[in-house]
């Protein structure tokens, strides 16, 4: 008889030296149809892996724990979660939606990258995960499938590095919004090549009832000029005279630098 443990499933084997080995599969079953009384069957795309169980400690819906035979390693078989992606060498080192994880182990090409969706004042509203099977936004350490792209229309988009997920989650855990300058991204790391936003690096407490400045750009694709001095600000005014998309940025830089200048528009 075969009894389903979880679909999809993750098996974690812990060795006596404390190391762990993680395997993700399409489904896991507990079976008594093999040599051992209890055997875990891990169902892959084209094969089935068998793990003999010597002792079962817990067996509840979506989870089984026990020890293997003959070496006595500790084993846990459970439903797959987003954090399992971090332990898989074939995937990026950040959590991923379970459908993306399963797609990767079935041989599908699962290209992914992360973008920060940023308000005009430089603070991150959420993260956007772009995958071959859809878009996801991040809330409370979970990726939520984005069904309507209109919900993010009006937010600036900045591609960020893998470590941005940990930084964003840490701030989100305590109800804070992180600045784009607090996330690892190419614009921040590049020296002398331009900057994307002006913002404080410290996070701010999220206020759901607070007023927000209107969003003035949907997506920033071009680099903005570096404006760290009054001279750079005056030079940028001429560019912004002909390019309306730069004006919001220059106005904010002027306020940040404390420069009083009449905007020529």
Q: What is the mean pLDDT of residues 89-107?
A: 88
d(CA 166, CA 157): 18
* End-to-end Cα spacing for the chain: 77
Give the domain range for residue 190.
112-223
| Mean pLDDT of the 1-25 span | 91
Identify the residue with better confidence: 232 or 49. 49
pLDDT for the residue 221 = 34
pLDDT at 153 over 90: no
Instruction: Give the pLDDT score at 69.
Output: 66
Q: Could you give the count of Cα atoms lying within 13 Å of 225 in the half-sphere of its Cβ?
A: 24
The per-residue pLDDT for 87 is 85
Last residue of a domain, one of 28, 54, 79: 79
CB atoms within 10 A of CB 68: 18
156/196 same-domain check: yes
Q: How many domains does the chain have?
A: 3
Are 262 and 215 in the same domain? no
Beta bridge partners of 241: none
Using 50, 70 and 90 to split pLDDT, how confident is the model at 196? very low
Q: Where are the beta strands (DSSP E) in 97-237?
A: 112-118, 124-131, 134-139, 142-145, 156-160, 176-177, 204-205
Higher pLDDT, 155 or 203: 155
Q: Are residues 153 and 211 in the same domain?
A: yes
State phi, psi for 65 to the nearest 5 degrees.
-130, 150
Residue pair 196/168 in contact by the 8 Å Cβ criterion: no
Question: Which region among 64-73, 91-100, 116-125, 194-203 has the lowest average model confidence (pLDDT)?
Answer: 194-203
Whether 106 is in a domain gets the answer no
Q: For position 256, what pLDDT does the model report?
A: 61
Q: Could you say which of 56, 79, 102 is where a domain stops?
A: 79
Q: Name the pTM for this structure.
A: 0.67
Show Cβ contacts of residue 90 under 8 Å, excluding neighbours closer than 6 positions. Answer: 104, 105
pLDDT band at 265 (very low <50, low <70, confident <90, very high): confident
| Residue 102 CB neighbour total at 10 angstroms | 19
């Amino acid at each position: 008889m075969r009894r389903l443990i979880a679909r999809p499933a993750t098996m974690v084997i812990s060795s006596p030296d404390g190391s762990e080995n993680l395997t993700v599969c399409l489904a896991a079953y507990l079976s008594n149809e093999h040599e051992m009384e209890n055997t875990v069957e891990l169902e892959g795309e084209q094969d089935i892996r068998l793990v003999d169980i010597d002792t079962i400690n817990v067996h509840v819906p979506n989870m089984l724990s026990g020890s293997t035979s003959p070496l006595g390693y500790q084993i846990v078989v459970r439903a797959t979660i987003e954090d399992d992606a971090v332990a898989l060498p074939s995937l990026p080192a950040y959590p991923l939606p379970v459908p993306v994880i399963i797609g990767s182990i079935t041989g599908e090409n699962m290209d992914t990258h992360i973008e920060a969706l940023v308000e005009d004042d430089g603070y991150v509203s959420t993260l956007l995960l772009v995958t071959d099977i859809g878009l996801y936004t991040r809330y409370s350490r979970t990726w939520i499938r984005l069904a309507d792209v209109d919900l993010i229309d009006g937010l600036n988009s900045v591609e960020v590095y893998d470590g941005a997920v940990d930084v964003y989650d840490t701030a989100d855990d305590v109800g804070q919004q992180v600045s784009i300058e607090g996330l690892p991204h190419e614009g921040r790391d590049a020296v002398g090549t331009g900057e994307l936003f002006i913002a404080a690096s410290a996070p701010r407490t999220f206020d759901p009832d607070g007023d927000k400045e209107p969003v003035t750009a949907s997506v920033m694709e071009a680099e903005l000029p570096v404006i760290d001095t009054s001279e750079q600000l005056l030079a940028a005014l001429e560019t912004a005279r002909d390019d309306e998309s730069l004006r919001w940025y220059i106005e904010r830089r002027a306020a940040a630098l404390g420069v009083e200048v009449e905007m020529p528009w």
